[in-house]
């Protein structure tokens, strides 16, 4: 990203010029915020240094290509470079990652991408998100948030993106993942008493099933005083929400709504 040798980066890190932290195995890890601070202090031209990593072309196409090729290393690098261009992480997910994944899904639907390729792309993105999460996670001081794709909902990458955003904001994000049975989710809510619950629905999710899931979960969240957030393209037809529930149309809006209603 900085167009210098690995030895130079190690020297900067060991001298404290470029801040890093060490993993239990002794590896140096660099936070995007610290790299951005390094750039400001040294007036470093990240646009020029980025070179072939970010060449000013279609970032969505780059993201899609890296996901389909299974290159999680460069995918993490692309996310970091976009962050240093001024995009919030939520905006990177909304404007680059989301459209790239939607395009992969459309290519799969018309047979231009195989099932195996689609699975590789999804797993590569999941792996990249876990690595980004490790770099931005801060001490959890703002409560627990449960994230689930209810019933037969199979898509949970958007939820994983939300989890990354949450841990960066100081929440403890508890990922329940895809196909989470609604009765079990309701029981967990009443037992664990989270501060918020997030549900995600893909555009293919049946409307009646989605509405029933939202209503059942809303009863549980109200019983413990928790907020309920619902998102995903499948919620476009969900015009009426239970009390203490919020619908968000993007990850940027999710962050803003969470901050406003925390």
Q: What is the pLDDT of residue 262?
A: 74
- Provide the pairing of β-strand 28-29 with 21-22: antiparallel
What is the overall mean pLDDT for the chain? Answer: 89
In the chain, which ranges are E strands?
Answer: 21-22, 28-29, 144-150, 172-180, 196-200, 227-231, 245-248
Q: Among residues 159, 155, 178, 157, which one has the least CA distance to residue 67?
A: 157
Q: What is the pLDDT of residue 52?
A: 40
Q: Among residues 89, 1, 5, 92, which one has the least CA distance to residue 45?
A: 1
Q: Residue 51: pLDDT above 70?
A: no
Q: Residue 135: pLDDT above 90?
A: no
Q: What is the pLDDT of residue 45?
A: 57
Q: Which of 53-62, 98-107, 143-152, 198-207 has the lowest average pLDDT?
A: 53-62
Within this chain, domains 6-136 and 144-261 share the same CATH topology: no
**Taking the model in full, what pTM does it have?**
0.81
Q: What is the pLDDT of residues 220-256, one digit of tens each?
A: 999 999 999 999 988 988 989 999 999 999 999 999 9
What is the mean pLDDT of the segment spanning 140-154?
Answer: 94
What is the mean pLDDT of the segment spanning 196-217?
Answer: 93
Q: What is the pLDDT of residue 237?
A: 87
The CATH superfamily holding the domain 144-261 is Cobalamin-binding domain (3.40.50.280)
Q: How far is CA 76 from CA 42, 86, 149, 221, 231, in A?
A: 23, 16, 25, 35, 25
Q: What is the pLDDT of residue 114?
A: 96
Domain residue extents for the chain:
6-136, 144-261
pLDDT, greater one: 6 or 2 = 6
Q: What is the pLDDT of residue 60?
A: 93
Percentage of the chain lying above the pLDDT 90 cut: 64
Binned at pLDDT 50, 70 and 90, residue 56 comes out as very low
Q: Among residues 125, 130, 166, 164, which one has the least CA distance to residue 145?
A: 166
Binned at pLDDT 50, 70 and 90, residue 147 comes out as very high
CATH topology for 6-136? 1.10.1240
Q: What is the pLDDT of residue 82?
A: 86
What is the mean pLDDT of the segment spanning 44-73?
Answer: 72
């Amino acid at each position: 990203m900085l167009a210098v040798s690995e030895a130079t980066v190690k020297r900067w890190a060991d001298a404290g010029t470029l801040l890093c932290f060490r993993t239990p195995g002794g590896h140096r890890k660099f936070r995007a915020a610290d790299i951005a601070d390094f750039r400001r202090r040294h007036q470093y031209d990240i646009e020029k240094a980025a070179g072939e990593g970010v060449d000013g072309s279609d970032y969505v196409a780059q993201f899609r290509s890296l996901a389909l090729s299974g290159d999680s290393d460069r995918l993490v690098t692309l996310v970091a470079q976009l962050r240093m261009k001024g995009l919030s992480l939520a905006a990177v997910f909304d404007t680059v990652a989301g459209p790239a994944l939607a395009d992969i899904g459309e290519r799969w639907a018309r047979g231009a991408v195989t099932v195996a390729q689609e699975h590789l792309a999804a797993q590569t993105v999941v792996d990249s998100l876990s690595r980004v999460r490790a770099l931005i996670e801060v001490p959890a001081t703002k409560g627990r948030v449960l994230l689930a794709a209810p019933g037969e909902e199979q898509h949970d990458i958007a939820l994983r993106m939300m989890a990354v955003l949450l841990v960066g904001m100081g929440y403890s994000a508890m990922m329940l993942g895809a196909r989470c049975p609604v009765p079990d989710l309701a029981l967990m809510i009443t037992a664990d008493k989270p501060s918020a619950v997030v549900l995600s629905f893909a555009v293919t999710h049946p409307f009646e099933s989605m509405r029933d899931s939202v209503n059942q979960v809303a009863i549980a969240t109200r019983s413990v005083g928790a907020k309920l957030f619902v998102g995903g393209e499948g919620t476009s037809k969900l015009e009426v929400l239970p009390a203490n529930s919020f619908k968000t149309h993007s990850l940027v809006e999710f962050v803003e709504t969470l901050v406003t209603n925390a």
